[in-house]
Each structure stands twice: as C-alpha cells, then as structure tokens.
Amino acid sequence: MKLLIKNKRLKEEIPYELFALFINTVMIIDLLRIIVGNVSALEIVRNGIYVFTAFYVIYHAISHKHLSVLMASGMGYAFLAAFSVLRNDGITEVVLSGSMIFLTRCLAAFYFAYYLPINECFFKKMKKYYVILFLYCFVYITTHTSGIYATDGSYMTFSYNILIMTLVCLLNCVEKPTPLGTLGVVVLLGIIVAYGARGPLICIAISLLLFLWYKFASFSVWKKIILFCFCIGGGSGLFLVRNTIIEILLKFNPSSRTLYLLKNFKLDNLSGRNTYYDLLSAEINKNWFLPHGIYSDRLILSGGGMSSNVDLSQYYAHNLPIEVMYQFGGFIGVLVLIFLLVKIIKSYIMVIKQNDHKLAIVYCAFFSGITTLFFSSSYLINERAWLVFGIVFSAGKVVNQKNIV
C-alpha cells in the first residue's frame, strides 16, 4: 500500500519536476557556459532538454486527453507559418529556425502553465534551484569582466535568466517575510541593478505592483490607506537616497550601464529601438488591412538580408503591439491585442477572487514574460511569454485535479 502511494506521488510530481527544470534551463546552461566555455555540447544539452520536454508534453497530453488544445495550437501556428512563407520571399530559413523554438519551448511553456495547477509541489520543485540561482549569480559577477562576458550583451541574458526565480523569491518574501528570505531578495535585487539590464527592473516593478494590488484587495479600507501611505513613504525614501545606493553599487560594478542610466535619469533611452518602431509603424499605416505574416518584421528590419538565428535574436520589432499589428495587419492586430488585454484583465480579477497566494505569486512572476515583450524579445521565440499566456487562459478554468497530473 505504501509503495502504491509512493508511486502515485512520484507520478504526480514528475510534471512539476520537468516544469521547474524547463523554467530554469536557460540559467543552468548559461552557468555551465561561463564555467566551461561556449562549447557546442552545451547547445546539444539545452536543445536535448527542450526536445525531451516537448515529447513529454505530447505524452502527457495524450494520456490526459489534452491533445486537442495542443494540436489546435500547433495547426494554427503551422497555418500562420505557411502563410508567411508564401507571402514573403527569403523568409523560409528564419521561419524554420523560429518554428523549432516555438514548437519545443513556447508550446511546452503554454501547456505546463495552462494545465498544471499551482500548488505546494510546484514551489517545492522550484526551491531546488535556489542554490543554483545564487551560484549562477556568484559565478557571473566574478567572471563578467573577463573573456567574452566583458564585451557582449550577456548582462541582459543574465538578468532575464534569473528574473522569474528572483520574482518568486521576492513575492514569497512579501507574502511571508523571513530574515533569510529578505536578505536573499535584497542581494538578488542589488545584483540585477548593478550587473543586469534595466528591462528586468521594469518587469520586477510591474509584477510587484500587481501582487501588492492583489494583497490590498482583501484588506479593509483603513488597512489599505495605511499600507498605501507606507508604500508612498517607502518609495519617496528610496528616491531620496537613490544616489547613495547607486554610488555604493557602482563600487561593485563601475561599468554598469543600468546604474549609469538610473543615475542620469535616462531609463527611457530607447537604444535605437525607435528606428524599428518608426519603420514598422510607417508600414502599418500604409495599409491597415494588409497582413505581412509572422517573422516578417525580421525581413524588413534586416533589409532583406536574412541570416537565420541572427535575425531571430537581433532584428525584430522589440514591441508587442507593433509586432502583432505589422504581422497580422493593423486592423486584425488591434483586435488580437484587445482580446489579449480583456483576457489578462479577466484572469487577474479571477486570481484576486480566488485569493490563493500561491497562484498569485506565480501569476505575477510569470507576468514578467509579457512585460518584457513591450521593449525586448518576441512572442514567437520567448517561452516566458507563453508561461503568461498559459496561466492567463487557465485562470478560472474549472478542471478535475485528478485528470491533470
């Protein structure tokens, strides 16, 4: 009997084990890359993890009768990809390269977030990666001034790699503060500010505001007023001592671009993104009903000189509304964005009504994936964005717990 219970528990924990590994794969692989160098074997390991996860998702979908959603998503994507190939000359290689990422990462992320209920098992599996999280931070900040990490954009990769784990730690600390947890959060935030990019800071701020609003919703009027005043006072205090904090952090990393932008009030510097925005916006305004196809922004922004992965990681809209409106046409794009906005609002209201702090923590942590899309990355190749889509569409969904895990 005990053996049967143990086997059942193990079976229920497997998807959460893979889910936690899936979320932290980029962090693990980048840690290994810093330690052993940029060897091709690591690419094989990373892709192997994602392919294995994709096959497990298919197996899970078949065994739990969830295949229809997976197939509908895959077929919808295939239709859009085929349209784009037919619509645009010279885009086939980029579509194929992006499709491998979308099918093995984005769909898997959506499936996990959509079907797996957020519970204590999920948090237990995520806690296993706390040691790796801090080890990664330590290794990065002690080696980023040497080798390739001194000259490339690894500070962006680094800070986005630890973003979800940092948010889980931060929101857990807000929900139930402990001395050790608070210390860990302060260290992580300090590392992101000093060694990371500004994008993750914006993501953290928005996710924190969403979680605080969730917390405030259940408070009495007087408690809301008191906490609101406390937040205003705390924010004002930080603003007054910001230069002191920045100077302290600059001693750890004098070359930090993020600290320079913070110190000189230049966080709104678009770093050339406005050129992409202007070009794509002009194309949208030429004909609001003309769709160009998925990945087509890469074609026009690269001047027609497509080179597969380079264009996936460099030449793209850097803004979700512009990307969607260019690819689907202005009219259809606006409808898609309105639909997504309505789903997000409804899902957030449902999270507040459910009053489940575990779900709220994960919802707000995952929300960083969609925040990122407004100034960096693309919804077609960013699995973090599909974690958001999955949990947004799953919020309020009535499911049979037994039929999920």
pLDDT digits (tens, 9 = 90+) for 66-78: 999 899 999 999 9
Whether the predicted pLDDT of 367 surpasses 50: yes
* The model's pTM: 0.90
The per-residue pLDDT for 403 is: 43
- Out of 133-137, 254-258, 294-298, 361-365, pick the least confident: 254-258
From CA 6, how far away is CA 380, in angstroms rounded? 39
- Give tens-digit pLDDT for 186-232: 999 999 999 998 899 999 999 999 999 998 887 777 777 887 787 78
227-241 per-residue burial string, b: 16 or more CB within 10 A, e: under 16: eeeeeeeeeeeeeee
pLDDT tens digit sequence for 107-166? 999 999 999 999 999 999 999 999 999 999 999 998 875 433 344 568 889 999 999 999
The mean pLDDT of 311-340, rounded to a whole number, is: 90
Which residues have a Cβ under 8 Å from the Cβ of 149 and sit 6 or more positions away?
34, 140, 143
